[in-house]
Structure formats: C-alpha cells, structure tokens
A and B are shown apart, each in its own frame.
Chain A
C-alpha cells in the first residue's frame, strides 16, 4: 500500500490531463442559434410512440434543423443517466423526462438552461400551465423546466372486493380518516383482501410521494413538504396524516413487507394510490372505482388537492442550437401535440382548462375525466436545494416512526424537520 498511493496520484495527474483535453462544450451557445438537435425520450412505449410522431412532424417541416431522438430509462435510473451526462457534457438539448425533484440538483450542477432567456418564454409557459406554473419556478425566480405532464394521484378501489367486504361498491365510505379506517377494517376482517391498501413500505426517497405526501397535500389544502425554507410536515396536519398511516400499519391493515408484483392488480389489496396510467392497466381486468384522497374531516371532492407526479421538459446547458431547441419545446407542448400526448398516453398535459381544451377526448373516454378534473388541483414537490436529501431524510423518519413504530411520530418528525430546515437553507 505504501507504494500504491503515490503511484495512484501520478496516474491521477495523467488522467486529469486526458480528461480535461476533451472539447469545450458549453461555450458560446446562445439563445438564437439554429441547427440540428438531439432529444431524449422516456422509453415507455406510449410516450415513445408520441415522441417519434412529434419528431417526424417537426423534421418534415425543418430539413435544416432535424431532431434526433434517443431513449433513456423511464424509471429510477433515468436521473443517474442524466446526472452523468451533465457532468460529461454530453447531455442532449431537451429531455422529455425530467423529474421536478431532480431539477434543483441539475440546476446546481450548472446543467440546465433558464428558459427565461428566450423571448416570451415566461409568458408562454405561464399562459399554458396557468397558476400551477408558479411551483415549478426555482428559488432564483427563473424557470429551468417546462411543466409538461402530470399523473395526479387518486384512490382506486376494487368493486368486487368492496362488495365481498360488505361495503357499498358504488360509493364506499372513504372520505374521512374514520371512514377509511372503518372500511379498511371491514376489508381485512371479512378476508376480502389481504390488505386494505398496499403502498410500498420500501425506504427509497420517492416512496413517500405515494403514501404520505398526497394525504398531506389534501389535509393541508395544498402545502408542499417544504415552504419558505421551512419543513411543513411536523405541523398538526402532518401529525394527523402520520397517525392515520400509523394506525393502518399497526392494525395490520397495510403490510410492512414489500410485495414483488402489483398488489392491487392481483387482488391482494382492495385499494391503491394511482395516477391515470392505471386506466389502461386495470381497464378490463378489474371493476374499479375512483375516490379522491381522504382527509381527516372529509373535505368535499372539489376542494381536494393531490400530488401531481409530473414529468417535465428541461433544456440542458450542453445544448448548442438552443434557438431550435426552444422552438421544438414550444412545438412539442403546443395544443395539438398536448392533445396527441393525452390521446397516446392518458397522462395529463400540465395545461390550464384541460377538459375544456380537449372536450372530445373526455367525452369519448369519461374514465379520464376524474383525473383531468383532479389535474387542475395538484401540488408538486418543493423546488428547494437538496431536494432528494430532504425526501430521504423524511422517508427515514417516516419509516422509523410510522411504518415500524420505533419512535413517536412527534419526535421523529421533529428531528427530521430540524435537519430539513438546515438542508433547505443551504445554497
């Protein structure tokens, strides 16, 4: 070992020279340069079909500014792929799969282009998305992402299971916490399903988006996890939501063990928290119904807000032909392309007045209307520094106190809130 270390450092200096010798991308790009660009699409089949059609439509009209589309993973590894590409300077111009939670980090890395640099961009974006656009703004007041599409989450339930449990399958009582718990107990005690609802108990940072966070948003009337640099989850509302889940776990209505498969799809659980993607998945297999997210006092459905689970489009700083990229971004989020996206994927374009803009689609497919309606009342993850670390900190506290009951919620959330305040305050 003694000799290894100097050898490694000698090699380091060689390696550094090699690594730095490669090109100087990022220089002299300006917001009007035109030319061919590369974009990345999520490799999800429906989105790919939409994306390729969009690219073809664009390329047909712009022979000198062609788009090359490539695929990246739809799931978790996409952030790893993007993060590595930013560092290496070979990210494409646009990525149609940018997670809002990852934006603060990409921005800190210097990987993103502020869209405000383009003429009329801010107006275009705010007009298209409406007041919901505000939550996609970064702390410096600029937009580094174009709000694109949401998958607002709701409660889906299995009608057959409800019937078996002796609950009205057309209108199961699920709007207050008391009703929800009561219905859950019936499901479990009747043996209609093994679990009332089965969110993943795993510890990955994003799991809270599909258990705690939607209920927290609904309960607080639309608060984010972190607002004004302060953690919000240790409030009375946060405590109520945590207690609700804690009861479900403690009474065995929700399993603590992860399930390798689709618990709802296989009838293992009576309910699930899902976005509109669920419609084609469960369409014919299961007779299902939709309910809004429950609140402790049972707010009216029209007031309930939920988590948006959005994926956005961002422009990356390695992009040279930014003028073209901006035009493509507008083209891909035009009313026509948004309509095509809605039709192809069932995901909700982040557009004001969605149902009024595409009346034919929602008449033809009424199943999507509830989600479209809900899409008008969504809340995003907070756009703050250390976003992922904050979510992991929260998840660890939640796992310890709510899922496994090792500590009181007040203690665990209190400690986590202190840590989160510190993280959110960093620049």
Chain B
C-alpha cells in the first residue's frame, strides 16, 4: 500500500539506499508531527476504545462502579450481522451512495465550471449555491417537508402524477429522495472545492485547445476534467465519507428512519443502540463494520481516480 501511495505524488527517480529507508524528504515527518500528535491525543483513544468495546460485553458505567465486561470475541458482530434491521440499514446507505455520489460530482463540477466564467451576477449566483450548505438542518428540513409532503408544492404541481404513497412515506422513494436532498444541501461545499481547483488550471491549456478549434464541450472534456482530477478524487471521497455518516436527515426528515425503516442508516442505528439504548458494544461493532466498508470504498475510488 505504501508503495502505491508513494507513487501517487511523484515520478519516482532511482532511489538510493538511505532515501529508501527514510524517504527523500524526512522533513515531511516534522511537518506532519502536529497532526500526528493530535491524532494520538484526541482521536486514538476514543477510536481504539470503540474497537476494543466491539469485542467485549460493554456498557458505560460511572467511575468506580464494579461491573463485569467479559471478552466476547465476535459475539457483537454476530448480533449485528444477524439483525435484519442492520443489514437493511447497510443496504439503504448503499442505495444512498449510488445516487448521491455521482449526482454530487457531476452537478458540482458542471455548476463550478459555469460559475467560474466571467458572467454578470457571479457573486449572487455563488452565494445562492452556498446558502443551503450553511443553513441549519432543522430549517432546511422544514422547507423540504413543505415541498415534498403529501399536499406539498411538488405534489400540487405534479397533480395526478404524484406518487402514492407520497415521497417521504414511500418505502421505495424515501431513500433516493434523501440522497437528492443531501446532494442539494451539500452542493455548495463541493462547488467551492471545484471552484478553487479551477483557479489552478493553467490558462494556456484552454488557449491552446481553443487555437486548435476545440468546442466548449471538448475543452471541458479534454482540459477541465483531467486538470481537476485531484479535486474529483477529493469530491468523490468526501461525498462517500459524509454520505456514509448520514444521520441528521433520516433522523429529522423521515422521523427516525421511516417509513418502516426504509431510510434507516447505520449511524442512526448506532445512535439508537449505543447512545439511546445503552449498548455501545453493539453500536461499536456497527461502527467498525461501517469504517472498514468506507475505507475500502474510498481506497478503491482513489485508486481508480488517481490512476494516470
């Protein structure tokens, strides 16, 4: 893996033995030290603890309380994998990701390219796309209910074409709708990422492409898309990760993962089992499975997208 990652940044020259041992720029270790220290001080304990918990019969107790926490091996994982509710939640999140991630990547790149051009009212437009991202979820959820409830604006416009049962209480449509909702809410974030990336695309590339008579579409495909590929990797990975952590929307928008569990996400289950019901061991097992899944998906994405 290390070899692969190293290849990511540099064309590799022939290595000498010393550099093979510590790398060509050992000073990098110094630069990254503050971050590593943070990881050790703040992150490692809770995370390591969560992993440890998932192999024990564990619950949180007051300091000084005498409680038994026997090692149970894979028992929590067996509980989790044997629970149809958990399997359903993982299926739900997969549906979510399959819709949300491509939609996010395509829309945000397209809109960022359009917004990057010198057009009148650019400030206004950029603010417009950014606004849903900064707005608190409680308020945005209210708006979405206004649009997609049974007698909401969307169904009024659709008239007889409105789905029955309506969007948010329809087991087939609830999760896709949440995927679209999240794409819409987060789009401002990803547009910003692309906008910043577009600033670094050398103008000469466009100029030479234009000299060759390439159409706008061809310039987009052969100049823009390859030039912002690192940003695309970032967008896809970040969208996958935030998507996999989906919690607020099913909690607020579909009233705790409704209808009938159709929009339950793994993190929502973790919240229910771990924090509400006091079974952090089971929640930790769900969490570990989720982390393993997301890391693998991200690594695959990265491998695919950063391949030259």
Residue-wise interface mask of A (321-341) relative to B, using a CB-CB cutoff of 8 A (1 in contact, 0 not):
000000000000000000000
**Assembled-state Cα–Cα distance A318/B63 (Å):** 8
Q: Would you call A404 an interface residue if the criterion is a C-beta within 8 Å of the partner chain's C-beta atoms? A: yes
Residue-wise interface mask of A (255-267) relative to B, using a CB-CB cutoff of 8 A (1 in contact, 0 not):
1111110000000
Residue pair A389, B277 in contact (C-beta under 8 Å): yes
Q: Would you call A155 an interface residue if the criterion is a C-beta within 8 Å of the partner chain's C-beta atoms? A: no
Residue pair A86, B261 in contact (C-beta under 8 Å): no
Residue pair A15, B48 in contact (C-beta under 8 Å): yes
Residue pair A11, B39 in contact (C-beta under 8 Å): yes
Q: Would you call B67 an interface residue if the criterion is a C-beta within 8 Å of the partner chain's C-beta atoms? A: yes
Residue pair A200, B260 in contact (C-beta under 8 Å): no
Residue-wise interface mask of B (29-63) relative to A, using a CB-CB cutoff of 8 A (1 in contact, 0 not):
00000000001110011111101100000011111
Q: Would you call A205 an interface residue if the criterion is a C-beta within 8 Å of the partner chain's C-beta atoms? A: yes
Report if A201-B255 is in contact (Cβ < 8 Å); known contacts: A27-B64, A110-B65, A256-B169: yes
Residues of B with C-beta under 8 A to A83? 60, 275, 278
Residue pair B62, A203 in contact (C-beta under 8 Å): no
Count chain B CB atoms within 10 A of each CB in A8, A25, A80, A205 and give the residue with the most: A8
Report if A2-B48 is in contact (Cβ < 8 Å); known contacts: A86-B60, A203-B257, A400-B260: no
Q: Which single residue of chain B is at the shortest CB-CB distance from A3?
A: B2
Q: Would you call A1 an interface residue if the criterion is a C-beta within 8 Å of the partner chain's C-beta atoms? A: yes
Residue pair B278, A109 in contact (C-beta under 8 Å): yes
Q: Would you call B276 an interface residue if the criterion is a C-beta within 8 Å of the partner chain's C-beta atoms? A: yes
Residue pair A110, B149 in contact (C-beta under 8 Å): no
Report if A204-B255 is in contact (Cβ < 8 Å); known contacts: A26-B65, A110-B65: yes
Q: Would you call A87 an interface residue if the criterion is a C-beta within 8 Å of the partner chain's C-beta atoms? A: yes
Q: Would you call A214 an interface residue if the criterion is a C-beta within 8 Å of the partner chain's C-beta atoms? A: no
Report if A11-B259 is in contact (Cβ < 8 Å); known contacts: A2-B1, A79-B276, A109-B62: no
Output the least CB separation between B75 and chain A (Å): 14
Residues of B with C-beta under 8 A to A89? 62-64
Residues of A with C-beta under 8 A to B45? 11-12, 14-16, 18-19
**Assembled-state Cα–Cα distance A386/B282 (Å):** 14
Q: Would you call A399 an interface residue if the criterion is a C-beta within 8 Å of the partner chain's C-beta atoms? A: yes
**Assembled-state Cα–Cα distance A404/B276 (Å):** 24
Residues of B with C-beta under 8 A to A79? 276
**Assembled-state Cα–Cα distance A386/B46 (Å):** 25
Q: Would you call A202 an interface residue if the criterion is a C-beta within 8 Å of the partner chain's C-beta atoms? A: yes
Q: Would you call A388 an interface residue if the criterion is a C-beta within 8 Å of the partner chain's C-beta atoms? A: yes
Residue pair A260, B277 in contact (C-beta under 8 Å): no
Per a CB cutoff under 8 Å, which of A1, A19, A258, A386 touches B1?
A1
Within 8 A of A (CB), among B61-107: 61-67, 85
B: contact size bracket: 35 or more
Q: Would you call A396 an interface residue if the criterion is a C-beta within 8 Å of the partner chain's C-beta atoms? A: yes
Residue pair A105, B278 in contact (C-beta under 8 Å): yes
Residue pair A399, B258 in contact (C-beta under 8 Å): yes
Output the least CB separation between A87 and chain B (Å): 4
Within 8 A of B (CB), among A1-40: 1-3, 7-9, 11-12, 14-16, 18-19, 24-27
**Assembled-state Cα–Cα distance A80/B275 (Å):** 7
Q: Would you call A406 an interface residue if the criterion is a C-beta within 8 Å of the partner chain's C-beta atoms? A: yes
Residue pair A25, B65 in contact (C-beta under 8 Å): no
Q: Would you call A345 an interface residue if the criterion is a C-beta within 8 Å of the partner chain's C-beta atoms? A: no
Q: Which single residue of chain A is at the shortest CB-CB distance from B151?
A: A194
Residues of B with C-beta under 8 A to A2? 1
Residue-wise interface mask of B (137-166) relative to A, using a CB-CB cutoff of 8 A (1 in contact, 0 not):
000011001100110000000000000011
Residue pair B261, A203 in contact (C-beta under 8 Å): yes
**Assembled-state Cα–Cα distance A196/B260 (Å):** 22
Q: Would you call A317 an interface residue if the criterion is a C-beta within 8 Å of the partner chain's C-beta atoms? A: yes
Residues of B with C-beta under 8 A to A205? 272, 276-277
**Assembled-state Cα–Cα distance A39/B146 (Å):** 41
Within 8 A of B (CB), among A397-425: 399-400, 403-404, 406
**Assembled-state Cα–Cα distance A248/B123 (Å):** 51
Residues of B with C-beta under 8 A to A105? 277-278
Per a CB cutoff under 8 Å, which of B1, B2, B46, B278 touches A388?
B278
Residues of B with C-beta under 8 A to A26? 62-65
Residues of A with C-beta under 8 A to B116? none
**Assembled-state Cα–Cα distance A83/B275 (Å):** 8
Residues of B with C-beta under 8 A to A25? 63-64
Residue pair B259, A404 in contact (C-beta under 8 Å): yes
Q: Would you call A247 an interface residue if the criterion is a C-beta within 8 Å of the partner chain's C-beta atoms? A: no
Residue pair A200, B61 in contact (C-beta under 8 Å): no
Q: Which single residue of chain A is at the shortest CB-CB distance from B256?
A: A203
Per a CB cutoff under 8 Å, which of B47, B49, B261 touches A396?
B261
Q: Which single residue of chain A is at the shortest CB-CB distance from B149?
A: A257
**Assembled-state Cα–Cα distance A323/B81 (Å):** 48
**Assembled-state Cα–Cα distance A7/B44 (Å):** 9
Q: Which single residue of chain B is at the shortest CB-CB distance from A256?
A: B169
Residues of B with C-beta under 8 A to A287? none
Q: Would you call A43 an interface residue if the criterion is a C-beta within 8 Å of the partner chain's C-beta atoms? A: no
Q: Would you call B183 an interface residue if the criterion is a C-beta within 8 Å of the partner chain's C-beta atoms? A: no
Output the least CB separation between A207 and chain B (Å): 8
Per a CB cutoff under 8 Å, which of A255, A260, A396, A403 touches B142?
A260
Residue pair B256, A202 in contact (C-beta under 8 Å): yes
Besides the known contacts A110-B67, A201-B169, A392-B277, 15 further A-B residue pairs in the complex with CB atoms under 8 A apart: A1-B295, A11-B44, A24-B64, A27-B64, A83-B275, A87-B63, A108-B61, A109-B59, A109-B62, A205-B276, A258-B254, A259-B149, A260-B146, A317-B64, A403-B259
Please name the 9 residue pairs, one residue from A and one from B, whose CB atoms are nearest each other, closest first.
A15-B45, A110-B65, A202-B255, A11-B44, A12-B48, A26-B64, A203-B256, A89-B63, A87-B60
Question: What residues make up the interface of A, taking CB atoms closer than 8 Å to B?
Answer: 1-3, 7-9, 11-12, 14-16, 18-19, 24-27, 79-80, 83, 86-89, 91, 105, 108-111, 200-205, 255-260, 317-318, 386, 388-389, 392, 396, 399-400, 403-404, 406
What are 10 A-B interface contacts by the 8 Å CB criterion? A11-B40, A89-B63, A110-B65, A257-B166, A258-B145, A386-B277, A396-B261, A399-B259, A403-B260, A404-B169
